[in-house]
Amino acid sequence: MKKILLSLAMVVVALAANATTEDITAKFTYTWNSAESLTNNEDGSITFNAVSWGGLAAWLATDEGKCDWSAWKKVVFEFAEPTTVNTQILVGEASAWGDVGITSLECSFEGKDMSAIDQIALQASAATTITITRIYLSDGEGEEEAAVKTAVLDNGSTHALPAGDWGWDGSWLARDVTAFNAIIFEISSVTGLGQVTLQGIDKNGEEVSHQIEISTATTYVVDIEDWQTLNQYAYQNINVSSEEVDVPDGETTIVVKQVFLTSETVDEYVISNTHIYAIGNLDGCNGWDPSDGSLQLAYDEEEGVFKGTISVQDNWEGNGWFAFSCKLGENSEDWTTFNAARLSVTSDYGTLNETATLVTGEDQSFKLPAGIYSVTINPFLMTIIITTASENAIASTPAISAAPAAYYSISGARLAAPQKGVNVVKMSNGQVKKVFIK
């Protein structure tokens, strides 16, 4: 499933007002390995220069004996930036493992005897620098659950796939993904034409796989809601010039910014991270201002598309011109941000009721006569349909009965026939909708 220039909103565990906590950051005063160091910063945070499996530690025992933490339910470490290596908390009988890319790590005391604790430590799996903003104990009362759980699988890599080789540049994971609903591929650049193949086991114990065509630098989202295990994902070269070519006859290089798992469903991810704005000669807009007065299209979760009604004006210079983007600039002069996420078609939009393929990052606008129009943008197939709205003074186009013309998986792969689960169906009239088949 394809998304357009998305950004992940990291959500940290929030504490309700009635939760009891105790800050213990200042208790961390030494390291387990002499090659490590710590710095106490003015804002109360700690910068920990770690080595592999050393430890940032706090000694808790006193002359009166060991520390009793029986009244507490967990300890939480909060980090200033997402971690770049795996981390681990060790305290008495309790421990907790942290994946790469987290901004907080908590260790639960449930079922553990925490009545006699002498020390606690945070370990890193490899040499790194971690800034810890806060370490605290919590009784767990009245806490809100983390809205989003994420786990980073790749913090940046390059995959060079030579001509003549289909490629299988990946690694074995065999990871339990039942806590996650989607996997996100943020691609920085692509030369040639590539593909990501995912393989795993679903919750019924059956083998499953998905293929994503990687053709442009954007963000790709794959639905793994029904997966139990993600065995592996691999980058492949599918850069061929014609159907007669048996092997790729061109090179492909895929530069990855990040790959991560999220507990958000695909629709939740789209709703929370994608917003499509319209600006220009439209009623309700402050003209060509990429930071203020824009219209926002609403996401239709049932159909999996963004929809909105725009009213094109014809009363000032720039008649009929307008533009869409996924991001707004910080101010009226910040066109760099807006244009980097601008949604365009390969030529000026002219024919209504026909599906046009969108591209991103092209400094190009749409032009229509004055009137009211309905807009539908599909973020999975990267298509746009503009139709004359019924409110328009111009007679609207009569409805035409439509039949399914093509089927796609939720990851964007073309299907020969509908399959169980969510199907993206392209109708004969150009409209696209999502259909769930049991």
| CA separation for the pair 227, 250 (Å, rounded) | 34
Specify whether 392 is located in the same domain as 413.
no
8 A C-beta contact, residue 56 and residue 165 = no
> What's the pLDDT score for residue 15?
29
| CA separation for the pair 379, 341 (Å, rounded) | 13
Last residue of a domain, one of 96, 111, 138: 138
> What's the pLDDT score for residue 427?
62
Range of the domain at 193: 150-270
> What's the pLDDT score for residue 318?
52
**CATH classification at residue 390:** 2.60.40.3620
Phi and psi of 173, rounded to 5°?
A: -110, -50
Specify whether 133 is located in the same domain as 177.
no
Phi and psi of 137, rounded to 5°?
A: -95, 150
**Residue 103 CB burial class (10 angstroms; 0-12, 13-18, ≥19):** middle
CB burial of 300-320 (b: ≥16 within 10 Å; e: otherwise) equals eeebbbbebebbbbeeeeeeb
Would 157 be classed as within a structural domain? Answer: yes
| CA separation for the pair 419, 417 (Å, rounded) | 6
> What's the pLDDT score for residue 421?
65
Specify whether 105 is located in the same domain as 81.
yes
> What's the pLDDT score for residue 303?
80
Specify whether 173 is located in the same domain as 254.
yes
8 A C-beta contact, residue 72 and residue 138 = yes
* 239 residue type, one letter: N
Would 184 be classed as within a structural domain? Answer: yes
Specify whether 365 is located in the same domain as 438.
no
Structural domain count of the chain? 4
pLDDT in tens, the chain (438 residues): 333 333 222 222 222 334 588 999 999 999 999 999 999 998 889 999 999 999 999 999 888 889 999 999 999 999 988 888 999 999 999 999 888 888 889 999 989 999 999 999 999 999 999 999 999 999 876 555 555 778 888 889 999 999 999 999 988 888 888 889 999 998 989 999 999 999 999 999 999 999 988 987 878 889 999 999 999 999 999 999 888 888 999 999 999 999 999 988 888 887 777 889 999 888 888 788 888 778 888 888 778 788 989 998 876 555 678 899 988 888 888 888 898 888 888 665 656 777 888 888 888 888 888 889 999 998 777 788 998 886 544 333 333 345 566 766 655 666 766 766 666 776 655 556 666 565
Distance from chain centroid for Cα 347:
30
Phi and psi of 339, rounded to 5°?
A: -70, -30
Specify whether 158 is located in the same domain as 265.
yes
Would 121 be classed as within a structural domain? Answer: yes
Please name every residue paired with 120 in a beta bridge, in sequence order, or none if there are none: 58, 91
> What's the pLDDT score for residue 47?
96
Specify whether 375 is located in the same domain as 423.
no
What the block records as the tokens of 232 is 């592996």
| CA separation for the pair 57, 27 (Å, rounded) | 8
> What's the pLDDT score for residue 220?
87
What the block records as the tokens of 171 is 């690694």
Residues sharing a CB contact under 8 Å with residue 360, sequence separation 6 or more, in sequence order: 4, 5, 216, 218, 326, 341, 342, 343, 344
What the block records as the tokens of 3 is 């998304």
8 A C-beta contact, residue 406 and residue 438 = no
Specify whether 436 is located in the same domain as 350.
no
Would 5 be classed as within a structural domain? Answer: no
DSSP state at residue 282: B
8 A C-beta contact, residue 47 and residue 56 = no
